Amino acid sequence: MSGDYSFSLTTFSPSGKLGQIEHALNAVNRGVTSIGIKATNGVVIATEKKSASTLIDDESTEKVAVICDSIGMVYSGMGPDFRLLVSRARKYAQQYKQLYMENPPTRILVEQIARVMQDYTHRGGVRPFGVSLLIVGYDDVNGPSLYQVDPSGSYWAWKASAIGKNMINAKTFLEKRYNDEIELEDAVHTAILTLKEGFEGQITETSLEIGIIGTSTIGVAGKDREEFPLFRKLSPSEVKDYLANIA
């Protein structure tokens, strides 16, 4: 009987669940672990980067995406679904900037992406996105912010969060290490240490992908005199330096 509900996108099971949403969450839980930490002066997102084969060019795969100057995001789950959402997010950010001459506030973009994901939970001919997202940004209204969006379209603001296969242990680790006064530099170290706890094999600069956004002069390569925060991805050499500091 349960099988009758697991393939129906818009029919609730007797226990009050949508089977396809549960399947989408299972896809997320099989994905690599991703971490997000909000600091007093910025936000960091980090994730494991593992190739299915040594023959794959790692530079061709992207797990941390720049949406606009002030917003970035990372995922756990299905890569193709993530790429579609990145495309939608970038398009919305561009349209917003053309209309208002500024980047969208982080919460506005999060609401837009969550609306897209929720729409795919009840429309015919589609399926839910098999990803959870961590979206970070910096704006004049809220300062640094971190949001998590799940396949159902639900979203929350977090101080620190983890998604993916090692989510439970990672959140437990973050609960022990996080404090409200943490600064961006320490947040990057904490994110790496959290991933290291559940990492299988040797952790190197090529097996991590990290993105940060902070106040001016922090982590903005070649633009340390800018008066506004910019989101960017750390280079492999920068990640290597961080790994050396926590070894």
Domains identified in the chain and CATH numbers? 3-246 (3.60.20.10)
What's the pLDDT tens digit per position in 70-104? Answer: 999 999 999 999 999 999 999 999 999 999 999 99
| pLDDT value of position 227 | 55
CA–CA gap between residue 142 and residue 48 (Å, rounded): 28
pTM of structure: 0.89
CB distance 9 to 112 below 8 Å: no
- Tens-digit pLDDT profile for residues 141-179: 889 999 999 999 999 999 999 999 999 999 999 999 999
Average pLDDT over residues 131-144: 94
Residue 46 CA: distances (Å) to CA of 8, 164, 241: 35, 12, 15
Please give the pLDDT value at position 24: 87
70 and 137 Cβ atoms separated by less than 8 Å? yes
Neighbours of 179 (CB within 10 A): 9
Percent of the residues in the chain that have a pLDDT greater than 70, as a whole number:
85
Six-digit token pair at 152? 């159902």
Scan for tokens 């023959």, then name that residue: 55
Q: Give residue 62's pLDDT.
A: 85
Largest CA distance in the chain: 63
Per-residue pLDDT for 58 more than 80?
Answer: no
Burial 96-106 (b: 16+ CB within 10 A, else e): beeeeeebbbb
Strands 231-233 and 71-77: unpaired
Radius of gyration of the chain (CA): 18
Burial (Cβ within 10 Å: 0-12, 13-18, ≥19) of residue 224: exposed
- Assign 215 a pLDDT band (cuts: 50, 70, 90): confident
- Residue bearing tokens 């790994």: 243
Q: Is pLDDT of 219 > 70? A: no
